[in-house]
Amino acid sequence: MINYVWFGLLIIGIVVSIVTGNVQAVTDAAIGNAKTAVELSMGLIGVMALWLGIMKIAEESGLVKKLSIALKPILTKLFPDIPGDHPAMGAIVMNIAANVFGLGDAATPFGLKAMQEMQKLNTTDDTATDSMCTFLAINTSSVTLVPASVIAYRVAAGSTNAVEIIGPAIIATAISTTTAIIAVKLLSKSKKYRTTKPDMKMAQTNE
Amino acid sequence: MFISAVNTISLYAIPLILLSITTYGVIKKVKVYEVFTEGAKEGFNTAIRVIPFLTAMLVAIGVFRASGAMDYFSKLVAPITNAIGMPSEVLPMALMRPLSGGGASGIMNGLFAEFGPDSLIGRMASVMNGSTDTTFYVLAVYFGSISIKKTRHALSAGLLADAAGLLSAVIITNIMFG
């Protein structure tokens, strides 16, 4: 699907720009965004290093393991192909916790750590496992309780009650996350995705 | 009151996390400095691995945005969104949200300037923006970091979740503020 969406965005953009005479803007956007992508990735290095360093301390001290044991009942339901005491679980917990509290900077490094740990259980190099898809779907559905940046923009625009959107946003977030989980579980059972599912490595407990 | 509570939490969250994790580490006799640097080392490689994936995604999104195709697409689906109670002004933001966080915030700020943040349009845009995420960016970065190319059903599920979030934002905003 991602191939079609990617190609679709490109071809629609290019065709429309030719029709409307916007071609120069499209050229600029293509070149400019390629640069932006590198800048964004480079910008990740510092924050990534910070949070992966902190994550390592949390791991070595046993904090991550404690967290994942506490949340094991929920986690093993969501991610049945990850052993309950696998380090991936700890990273998943840290990522979701950071997301819930709106700490986007911290959430990404934890999320990427979780992906790395999940990849260790994957027998293929290039195909997403069911757990990865579930984790991604939860992340892209947004689990943020308090959308701090939206509130900041509202304050800046002179809102008289900038936080009134928190309640409705929490409800909408809950619905979108529930939808993500149901969708990902149902889709993983469909014939197309069941047959492409990569095998998992034998459950190996850490260390 | 609530605003200051929220601000206090965001102000103290990161220092407190840093403090509690490192303190716990020291209590558990972890060599915190050494372990930190060991973990931090991975930051560089991860960021580098993301580059090709992020470039592919951002270039396609940039081309689509710059072409003005969004305006045509908005006009095309406007009859449907009007029927469910979404003002057509909000539609471009809803469509932009999964593609680009900055783009969506830009449109939202434009709506604030034009209609005010406390208008129905302003509130709906806020709820939408606050309850969904940049699906394409997250997908590119997360899968990119471990070089996964076959993403299977992740994108479909993510987009379905976005649609559900946007739709509920419309309904809830109309019920609460309509």
- Which of A60, A93, A96 to substitute to test the interface with B, most B CBs within 10 Å? A60
Distance of CA B160 to the CA centre of its chain: 15
- Torsional class of A102: left (φ above 0), alpha (ψ -120 to 50), beta (otherwise): left
What's the rounded mean pLDDT across residues B99-105? 88
Q: Domain range spanning residue B83?
A: 50-177
Domain count, chain B: 1
Residue of A nearest to B111 (CA): A157
Within a domain: B10? no
CA distance B87 to B78: 8
Q: Identify which has the larger pLDDT, A162 or B157.
A: B157
Candidate from A112, A153, A164 with C-beta closest to B105 = A153
| Best CA proximity match to B87, nearest among B113, B120, B117, B65 | B120
DSSP B33-90: HHHHHHHHHHHHHHHHHHHHHHHHHHHHHHHHHHTTHHHHHHHHHHHHHHHTT--TTT
Angstroms from B32 CA to nearest CA on chain A: 6
pLDDT at A206: 45
Q: Classify each residue of B18-48 as buried b or exposed e, where b means 16 or more C-beta atoms within 10 Å of its C-beta.
A: eeebbebbeeeebebeebbeebbebbbebbe
- Residues of B within 8 A of A60 (CB-CB) are 25, 28, 30, 35
Spatial CB neighbours of A178, under 8 Å, sequence gap ≥ 6:
B164
Q: Is the pLDDT of residue A80 over 70?
A: yes
| Closest residue on chain A to B154 (Cα) | A133
State chain A's mean pLDDT as an integer: 89
Where do the H-state alpha helices sit in A128-199?
Answer: 130-140, 148-156, 166-189, 191-195
Instruction: Determine, yes or no, domain membership for B20.
Output: no
Domain-embedded: residue B21: no
**Predicted model pTM:** 0.86
The tens digit of pLDDT for each residue in B53-80 reads 989 988 998 999 899 888 888 888 889 8
Domain annotation covers residue B111: yes
